[in-house]
Amino acid sequence: MITQSKACLKVNKTQENALKALQQGFVASCQPVDDGPMDSPMIVAAMAQAAVAGGAAGIRIEGIENVKAVRPHVNVPIIGIIKRDLANSDVRITPFIEDVYALKEAGADIIAIDATHRARPTSVEDLIDAIHSVGCLAMADCSTFDEGMYCQARGVQIIGSTLSGYTGGPIPTEPDFDLIKQLKKAGCTVMAEGRFNTPELAGKAIEAGAFCVTVGSAITRVEHICSWFQSAVELAHQSQSEAVA
């Protein structure tokens, strides 16, 4: 086991610049719907460039080929992940050490992992150590305060609220602002992520103490965005019909 990761781990100048670039900005998660018409590296790269042109301070990208496609076209930090569907674990985000090495090679500046306390093929600590060994910043996608504090104590530079509400039971409609506030109060550098689907909610994330906020579906999943509008229009038609009746 690599033992480089410690709670007092210092960031180098390149890592410090990446953190400064993200501070109080927003990250566009350019992850199209799986197997949809926009699910190709060329389109993801164009999506990332458009997001940066619109003000994104960073980009979150899934998949090695997508990271490779995006890297030459943006000069903002890339948060890289790999999603896998495993037979014996609910953990999906960057579950293996070889994923870490591949993301670094592809051009990721920051590597995010599922840091939940669930059955997993590789320990959270080993993944953190691997990320630090290749010179990348580590981000922990957490679902609870305890998970965030566990990762902070092991040298993770960015603690995300990413998986709050996604590890069992009904998925909430609102972001977990309480978790952001708790993590911030405990001294974490917090990435707000999860259900920040309006500019107003993104702004509230910063007000709650997040140093940055990631927005995904509301920017880069056209199918989801269209379904929101379709539902609103259908509901309006129903309301009109009921009023006439």
Percent of the chain with pLDDT over 70: 96
Distances (CA, A) of 163 to 125, 147, 197, 235: 18, 11, 15, 30
Question: Which two three-digit tokens encode residue 203?
Answer: 């702004």
CA geometry: angle 205, 180, 197, nearest 5 deg? 40
Distances (CA, A) of 1 to 23, 25, 110, 126, 216: 32, 35, 21, 7, 34
DSSP lists the bridge partners of residue 193 as: 214
Q: Is 146 inside any structural domain?
A: yes
**For position 73, which CATH number holds?**
3.20.20.70
Q: Which domain holds residue 28?
A: 24-238
- What's the pLDDT tens digit per position in 124-179? 999 999 999 999 999 999 999 999 999 999 999 999 999 999 999 999 999 999 99
In this predicted structure, what is the pLDDT of residue 185?
Answer: 98
Q: Is 117 inside any structural domain?
A: yes
Q: Is 8 inside any structural domain?
A: no
Asked which of 6-10, 34-38, 46-50 is least confident by mean pLDDT, the reply is 6-10
* Distance between CA atoms of residues 26 and 23, nearest Å: 8
Q: What is the mean pLDDT of residues 233-238?
A: 94
Distances (CA, A) of 51 to 32, 79, 190, 202, 205: 13, 14, 21, 15, 19
User: Which residue spans within 82-203 are E strands per DSSP?
Assistant: 110-114, 137-141, 158-160, 190-193
Q: Is 217 inside any structural domain?
A: yes
Name the domain count of the chain. Answer: 1
* Distance between CA atoms of residues 127 and 112, nearest Å: 10
Asked which of 8-22, 36-50, 222-236 is least confident by mean pLDDT, the reply is 8-22
User: Which residue spans within 11-160 are E strands per DSSP?
Assistant: 25-29, 58-62, 78-81, 110-114, 137-141, 158-160
Q: Is 90 inside any structural domain?
A: yes
Q: Is 232 inside any structural domain?
A: yes
With a CB cutoff of 8 Å and minimum separation 6, the contacts of 148 are 115, 140, 142, 159, 179, 183, 186, 188
Would you say residue 8 has pLDDT above 90?
no
pTM, full prediction: 0.93
Q: Name the one residue in this structure whose structure tokens are 């909430």.
A: 172
The pLDDT confidence band at residue 9, using thresholds 50, 70 and 90, is low
In this predicted structure, what is the pLDDT of residue 26?
Answer: 96
Cβ atoms within 10 Å of 85's Cβ, excluding its own:
7
Distances (CA, A) of 128 to 121, 133, 243: 14, 9, 58
Q: Is 11 inside any structural domain?
A: no
Q: Is 140 inside any structural domain?
A: yes
